[in-house]
Chains A and B, each alone.
Chain A
Amino acid sequence: MRPARHIRRAAARAGAAALSLALLAGLAGCSGDGGSDDGTVTLDYLSLAWQEESVAANKRLVEEWNEEHPEVQVRYVQGIWDTVHDQLLTSFEGGEAPDIIHDAADDLTDFAYGGYLADLTDLLPDSLRADIPAQSWRTTTMNGGIYGVPFLQEPRMMFANTALLEESGVRVPTAADPWSWQEFEDAAKELTADTDGDGSTDQYGVAWGMKEPVSQSVNLSLSTGGGLFSREQTDDGPKNRVGYGPEDSAVAETIDRQVNEDRTAPRSSLGMSGSDTLPGFFAGRYAMVPLNFSYRQLVTQQAPDDFGWSVLPMPAGDGPAGGLAQGVSPQTLSVAEDSDHRQAAADFIAFMTRPEHMAELAAGDWMLPTGAQALKDPALNTEKYGWRTGVEVARSLRPAPVLGVRGYREWSDKIATPAFQRYFNGDTDLDELRESLVEDGNLVLDRYQR
């Protein structure tokens, strides 16, 4: 019975292979376990840096720290933006959280209220507290404590095709003299054209990539004096409420007009992410695209060699900071409450956020540092790649209105995202958008504030 012998041999081989693999795995696993009994403290640093320069800068700084502090060694652990919330939640619940945590301010709310993060109020040096402006500290201050050091941030900027802008003859805005929203609408009209005369538009003034419409709509509303979220005193204490008045909706109304009335923005870009709009930008199909500041890195990589581009400030409204205000959710460094070495972890954060280090990390991520000293770094104060425009806008940035609002994530996913998408698509009007955001939205927030 040859097949039987064959199968028996195969089964024996498979069994042997399984055993060897399991043994090998055991050995490999053993080699991965750290720990030392010589008094050296080892801290885990969960970093979300992902761009090559940024990872290199982080690893270099960790190495430098480890050389300077033989008694407190830091282990670099790579995390991922997409899944960091679930990963952290599991680690916190399991009591195995990393000591030092890189995250973003809008992800800290639940962790701070849940008691998973250490209050850094008394753990950070005064120099660091003084160097980072108060509006940045407000992004991580909640529940009576400071739960992270905000160290990198990025505003929304208007990326423009320089040649098309010059051809159109429109005034080029600067941080000192930005466009008003009305001027921006006019400029978009000037830049919209039917270049081949076939009766259909083939060059749009602007492309709004609104795959994730909520953060843009909420953060930019600060420019017109809005913000959507407010805190109200009630019998049960202060509560977050959603409102949607004219100052909150002005930017969304502009986008709606451009897409559905003026046709200076294509409807097809509404479902796109920022990077999806780039091919059209490079091809001259879109004269301007609003993108986060760090997209400059992608533009330098992907733009054709002869493509000229500029970084302009977003239009200004009647809001704070001369109307240039917009909400940001900075990247943060926090310490786990369960860490046995909270002061050492805070010392490492202070080291990473020294002005020269903060500037290096910002440059690696193509973002802006929050620290006043780091913002003066010569490497960031150059015309190249729009760095200077970004630095000039930095002082106008404010905490994103959603920071510290419990239930924001559910409001955003279940209520606001579909409501904004329907509105920008022309399926609903402003009243219906307001009704969804406010009435349905407050029901969601109430559930988190009982």
Chain B
Amino acid sequence: MSAPTALRTKRAAGRTGQYLALLAYLVFLAFPLVWLISTAFKSPQELGKIDPTWIPQDPTLENFRAAFDAQPLLRSAANSLLVAGSAALIAVAIAVPAAYAMVRYRSKVTTAATGWILVSQMFPFVLIIIPLFMLLKEARMIDSLPGLILVYVVWNLPFSLWMLQGYVKAVPVSLEEAAAVDGASRLRTIVSVVLPLLAPGLVATLMFSFVTAWNEFFFALVLLKSPENQTMSVILTQFLGAEGVVDLGPLAAAATLATIPSLLFFALLQRRLVSGMLAGAVKG
């Protein structure tokens, strides 16, 4: 075997290994979702079988009917969309200028703020829920969606800021200097030069904030009382009973429906994420 052939074979083997690893990772990621969807279409009798199958033997929509009958899924999905969408947009709107300022105007204050961002991530929910509850009560924002949006914005903001700082740092200062030399103001430079290059960061941060708020359960459970205000994550748990008893079929059906908005959100924004990453600015 000649040297180039051996090299090609080695490369092909390496590439095959990479694809196999990727495939294994994809299977690992997809398994829960596929199992969830499969469960959603199985009858109660099939769910009680000792040898479960991937593909439902006698597919049924009964679980979806039962889920819609038992809980206000559409209303709760609308509430979740409203809360998660608003919280994500507001958090990013605040985080962008803040991240820019923290990266470009280094001072002791920004260093301290960066440290505080990290520290703030260490507080568990249970530690802050009671003071938060009292604050919101004073502001008469218990059992209101704006109150929950406010909580999610505050909860998401530190990490959004942290994420965006990295993206801002990656934008070469020389580009801004070039814009300044061309006579652009600071605002114009940010809007016309920095923001377009931040697109993938904005999309990633939006996704993170949206999904975090969409999935969040405990704040929503404690802060919202009225049935008409409840979000999807809270409604889903109402298929769980005492001592681990679960209404599995309807739960799987409702959970399958609950994943759709997140998947759509990802699908819509993914193109923007990739296109932004491919947009080059500086010649090497």
Q: Does A77 contact B (CB under 8 A)?
A: yes
Q: Are B50 and A78 in contact (CB under 8 A)?
A: no
Encoded as 1 (CB less than 8 Å from any B CB) or 0, chain A from 190 to 231 comes to 000000000000000000000110000000000000000000
CA A285 to CA B51, docked complex, whole Å? 12
Q: Which of A34, A50, A279, A295 has the most CB of B within 10 A?
A: A50
Q: Are B50 and A283 in contact (CB under 8 A)?
A: yes
Question: In the complex, what residues of B have CB within 8 A of residue A21's CB?
Answer: 82, 85-86, 89
Q: Does B245 contact A (CB under 8 A)?
A: yes
Contact of A90 among B85, B133, B227, B228 (CB under 8 A): B133
Q: Would you give the shortest CB distance from A221 to chain B, in whole angstroms? A: 19
CA A238 to CA B196, docked complex, whole Å? 71
Q: Which of A3, A30, A294 has the most CB of B within 10 A?
A: A3
Q: Does A379 contact B (CB under 8 A)?
A: no
Q: Does B229 contact A (CB under 8 A)?
A: yes
Q: Does B61 contact A (CB under 8 A)?
A: no
Q: Would you give the shortest CB distance from B167 to chain A, in whole angstroms? A: 13
Q: Are B228 and A31 in contact (CB under 8 A)?
A: yes
Question: In the complex, what residues of A have CB within 8 A of residue B47's CB?
Answer: 302
Q: Does A11 contact B (CB under 8 A)?
A: yes
Q: Are B228 and A32 in contact (CB under 8 A)?
A: yes
Q: Are A303 and B70 in contact (CB under 8 A)?
A: no
Question: In the complex, what residues of A have CB within 8 A of residue B242's CB?
Answer: 48, 50, 81, 104
CA A48 to CA B147, docked complex, whole Å? 25
CA A302 to CA B66, docked complex, whole Å? 15
Q: Does B56 contact A (CB under 8 A)?
A: no
Q: Are A52 and B70 in contact (CB under 8 A)?
A: yes
Knowing A8-B195, A94-B137 are in contact, say whether A274-B146 is a contact too (CB < 8 A). no
Which of B20-28, B33-41, B102-110, B218-226 participates in binding chain A? B218-226
Knowing A80-B237, A282-B50 are in contact, say whether A302-B45 is a contact too (CB < 8 A). yes
Q: Would you give the shortest CB distance from B232 to chain A, in whole angstroms? A: 14
Q: Are B222 and A90 in contact (CB under 8 A)?
A: yes
CA A18 to CA B218, docked complex, whole Å? 24
Question: In the complex, what residues of B have CB within 8 A of residue A78's CB?
Answer: 227, 230, 238
Knowing A81-B241, A94-B133 are in contact, say whether A279-B229 is a contact too (CB < 8 A). no
Question: In the complex, what residues of A have CB within 8 A of residue B48's CB?
Answer: 278-279, 282, 301-304
Q: Does B244 contact A (CB under 8 A)?
A: yes
Encoded as 1 (CB less than 8 Å from any A CB) or 0, chain B from 55 to 77 comes to 00000000000100110000000
Contact of B244 among A14, A211, A278 (CB under 8 A): A211
Q: Does A29 contact B (CB under 8 A)?
A: yes
Question: In the complex, what residues of A have CB within 8 A of residue B230's CB?
Answer: 78
Contact of A1 among B66, B83, B143, B192 (CB under 8 A): B192
Contact of B218 among A81, A83, A278 (CB under 8 A): A83
Encoded as 1 (CB less than 8 Å from any A CB) or 0, chain B from 121 to 136 comes to 0000010011001100
Question: In the complex, what residues of A have CB within 8 A of residue B8's CB?
Answer: none
CA A326 to CA B254, docked complex, whole Å? 37
Q: Would you give the shortest CB distance from A274 to chain B, in whole angstroms? A: 7
Q: Does A135 contact B (CB under 8 A)?
A: no
Q: Are A4 and B227 in contact (CB under 8 A)?
A: no
Residue of B nearest to A83 (CB): B221
Encoded as 1 (CB less than 8 Å from any B CB) or 0, chain A from 23 to 41 comes to 0111011111110000000
Q: Tell me which residues from 76 to 96 in chain B have a Cβ below 8 Å from any Cβ of chain A.
A: 79, 82-83, 85-86, 89-90, 92-93
Q: Does B240 contact A (CB under 8 A)?
A: yes
CA A96 to CA B223, docked complex, whole Å? 10
Contact of A24 among B82, B221, B244, B246 (CB under 8 A): B82
B contact residues, total (Cβ < 8 Å): 61
Interface size on A, as a range, is 35 or more
Q: Does A417 contact B (CB under 8 A)?
A: no
Q: Does B117 contact A (CB under 8 A)?
A: no
Q: Would you give the shortest CB distance from B200 to chain A, in whole angstroms? A: 12
Q: Would you give the shortest CB distance from A358 to chain B, in whole angstroms? A: 18
Question: In the complex, what residues of B have CB within 8 A of residue A305's CB?
Answer: 45
Q: Are B144 and A50 in contact (CB under 8 A)?
A: no
CA A357 to CA B158, docked complex, whole Å? 51
Q: Does A22 contact B (CB under 8 A)?
A: yes
Contact of A93 among B133, B144, B196, B234 (CB under 8 A): B133
Q: Are A28 and B142 in contact (CB under 8 A)?
A: no
Question: In the complex, what residues of A have CB within 8 A of residue B143's CB?
Answer: 32-33
Question: In the complex, what residues of B have CB within 8 A of residue A301's CB?
Answer: 44, 48
Question: In the complex, what residues of B have CB within 8 A of residue A254's CB?
Answer: none
Contact of A83 among B66, B90, B146, B237 (CB under 8 A): B237
CA A95 to CA B135, docked complex, whole Å? 12
Q: Does A121 contact B (CB under 8 A)?
A: no
CA A30 to CA B146, docked complex, whole Å? 9
Q: Would you give the shortest CB distance from B92 to chain A, in whole angstroms? A: 8
Contact of A302 among B44, B85, B142, B199 (CB under 8 A): B44
CA A95 to CA B195, docked complex, whole Å? 45
Knowing A21-B82, A96-B133 are in contact, say whether A4-B226 is a contact too (CB < 8 A). no
CA A78 to CA B66, docked complex, whole Å? 18
Knowing A96-B133, A96-B137 are in contact, say whether A91-B222 is a contact too (CB < 8 A). yes
Q: Does B193 contact A (CB under 8 A)?
A: yes
Contact of A275 among B49, B193, B246 (CB under 8 A): B246
CA A301 to CA B130, docked complex, whole Å? 40
Residue of B nearest to A285 (CB): B50
Q: Does A76 contact B (CB under 8 A)?
A: yes
Contact of B130 among A11, A93, A279, A294 (CB under 8 A): A93
- List 10 A-B residue pairs with CB atoms under 8 Å apart, sorted by A's residue number: A4-B196, A24-B82, A25-B83, A29-B145, A51-B247, A81-B241, A96-B137, A212-B243, A274-B243, A285-B50
For the A-B complex with A1-B192, A301-B48 known, give 7 more contacts whose Cβ atoms are closer than 8 Å.
A4-B193, A32-B145, A83-B221, A94-B130, A94-B137, A96-B137, A283-B50
When A and B form their complex, which 4 residue pairs have the shortest distance between CB atoms, in order from nearest?
Answer: A302-B48, A29-B144, A18-B89, A21-B86
Name A's B-contacting residues (CB within 8 A): 1, 3-4, 6-8, 11, 14-15, 17-18, 21-22, 24-26, 28-34, 44, 48, 50-52, 55, 75-78, 80-83, 86-87, 89-91, 93-96, 98, 104, 211-212, 273-275, 278-280, 282-283, 285, 292, 294-295, 298, 301-305
